């Protein structure tokens, strides 16, 4: 670019038909060609060329040694300067520090006006924010260690969804509504495997609620809106926009079991937004924001949300029984690749790569390389779709699987089991 160089090309202003004459000697000129100037850098040994010299000027980048995934909910104790908070975010290390940055201040006047029942026009972020924000609360955990997170009201009698790591170990907790009202809540139940928890507010008055949608049918690239209460900041919830950047992600964490089938988004999700809502372009909740990707150089701009289908299933079980039970088929696998799907004339499927011994799948006769293409006659186009379909079932339920084995289509009945604790 001209501003980055010591010389620039200019169109000649003289008559090009005039006879050519050599340029005056350097001592008689106020300009110099770059070849007449000493370079501001010195070439490396055995690198005398211009390209080699330029390469020595390129900034060295620190190697990216690892990528860690940090859940966003639990916080740092005490009041700290905001500048120190922001400086700490890029250096989070789940093995050494807390999972959230907390500013313990009261929420000020609400910034919202429209009730949640008003349906937002598709893609109108302003309307979506006004529609959903009244159903987003800030979670204040007062003991044993002060922390903050977010929550989503999904039943008007005071039930809300949040992350298990947000309320883990909490003895007292409060939900701060959009208008600044604080209401004490109690933990109904939590499921570390999906990082989902349900909290019941102490009041039964009608609350604004968010509309729960579905993660089934999501497409990479479609718009996404994230709403939460980052860093415990006052003034109500925060809104960011982006797209669904990947589906079916596995996110390893320091909490034990990996999080499966996560929705990845580039909509900004800051610490403290754990338990908030990831929305589609219609304002329906498609996920509960759970984690961010962090490396040695700082936040990578990727967030992860638990699909709302999983969160809703877990929440319904917790409200009914106080706990969540997960069905078990007993297979491991991957999506069918495009070439195999084309040859088999199928839109997709879940290829079995391992069958666990003494599992329901093993007892039913499923084998490695079988391709599951339907559950109870409903198409299955990926491993994620298979897992999501199983989430709606319960242990002891019998299902019918349609699968391909050596290009031959077959059906089989399988009685689902309860997932062992060691898996």
Other Cβ atoms closer than 10 A to 375: 21
**Residue found under tokens 């890029």:** 90
Q: In which residue are the tokens 């298990």 written?
A: 164
> Of all helices (H) and strands (E), which one includes residue 408?
strand 408-415
What 3-state DSSP class applies to 59? coil
Give the tokens for residue 127. 């309307």
Q: How far apart are CA 302 and CA 240, in angstroms?
A: 13
Using DSSP's 3-state secondary structure scheme, residue 252 falls into coil
The DSSP element (H or E) to which 88 belongs, if any, is helix 82-89
Distance of CA 48 to the CA centre of its chain: 48
Residue 234 and residue 106: Cα distance in Å, rounded?
6
Rounded Cα distance between 274 and 294, Å, is 15
CB atoms within 10 A of CB 77: 12
Q: Active-site residue 274, yes or no?
A: yes
State yes or no: is 33 an active-site residue.
Answer: no
Burial of 65 by CB count in 10 Å (0-12 exposed, 13-18 middle, 19+ buried)?
exposed
> Is residue 195 annotated as a catalytic residue, yes or no?
yes
Q: Which of 165, 253, 273, 370 is catalytic?
A: 165
- Separate counts of helices (H) and strands (E) for the chain: 8, 21
**How far, in Å, CA of 385 to CA of 8, rounded?**
58
Which is catalytic among the residues 195, 266, 335, 370? 195
Of 376, 362, 367, 378, residue with least CA distance to 417: 362
Cα distance between residue 116 and residue 173, in whole Å: 24
H-run or E-run covering 245: strand 238-251
- Radius of gyration of the chain, Cα coordinates, nearest whole angstrom: 28
Options 133, 148, 229, 274, the catalytic residue = 274
Where does 41-197 have alpha helices with state H? 50-57, 82-89, 125-132, 164-167
Single out the residue of 324, 319, 323, 321 nearest to residue 200, CA to CA: 319
Which residues are designated catalytic? 165, 195, 274
């Amino acid at each position: 670019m001209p501003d980055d160089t010591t010389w620039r090309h200019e169109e000649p202003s003289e008559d090009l038909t005039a006879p050519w004459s050599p340029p005056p000697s350097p001592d008689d000129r106020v300009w110099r060609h770059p070849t007449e100037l000493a370079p501001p850098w010195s070439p490396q040994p055995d690198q005398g060329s211009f390209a080699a010299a330029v390469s020595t000027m390129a900034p060295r980048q620190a190697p990216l040694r690892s990528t860690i995934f940090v859940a966003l909910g639990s916080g740092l104790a005490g009041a700290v300067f905001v500048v120190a908070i922001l400086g700490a975010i890029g250096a989070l290390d789940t093995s050494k520090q807390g999972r959230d940055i907390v500013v313990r201040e009261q929420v000020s006047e609400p910034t919202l006006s429209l009730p949640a029942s008003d349906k937002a026009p598709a893609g109108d972020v302003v309307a979506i924010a006004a529609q959903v924000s009244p159903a987003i609360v800030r979670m204040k955990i007062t003991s044993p260690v002060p922390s903050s997170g977010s929550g989503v009201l999904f039943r008007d009698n005071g039930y809300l969804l949040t992350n298990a790591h947000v309320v883990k170990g909490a003895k007292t907790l409060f939900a701060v509504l959009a208008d600044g009202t604080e209401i004490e809540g109690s933990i109904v139940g939590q499921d570390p495997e999906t990082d989902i928890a349900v909290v019941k507010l102490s009041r039964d008055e009608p609350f604004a609620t968010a509309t729960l949608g579905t993660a089934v049918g999501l497409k990479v690239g479609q718009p996404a809106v994230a709403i939460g209460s980052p860093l415990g900041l006052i003034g109500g919830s925060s809104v960011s926009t982006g797209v669904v950047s990947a589906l079916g992600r596995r996110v390893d964490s320091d909490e034990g079991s990996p999080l499966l089938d996560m929705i990845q988004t580039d909509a900004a999700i800051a610490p403290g937004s754990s338990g908030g809502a990831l929305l589609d372009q219609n304002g329906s909740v498609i996920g509960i924001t759970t984690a961010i990707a962090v490396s040695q150089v700082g936040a990578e701009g990727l967030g992860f949300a638990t699909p709302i289908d999983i969160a809703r299933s877990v929440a319904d079980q917790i409200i009914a029984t106080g706990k969540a039970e997960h069905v078990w088929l007993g297979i491991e696998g991957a999506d069918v690749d495009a070439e195999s799907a084309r040859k088999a004339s199928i839109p997709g499927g879940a290829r079995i790569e391992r069958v666990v011994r003494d599992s329901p799948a093993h007892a039913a006769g499923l084998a490695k390389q079988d391709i599951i293409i339907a559950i109870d006659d409903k198409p299955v186009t990926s491993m994620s779709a298979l897992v999501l379909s199983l989430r709606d079932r319960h242990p002891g339920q019998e299902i019918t699987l349609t699968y391909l084995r050596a290009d031959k289509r077959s059906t089989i009945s399988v009685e689902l089991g309860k997932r062992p604790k060691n898996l």
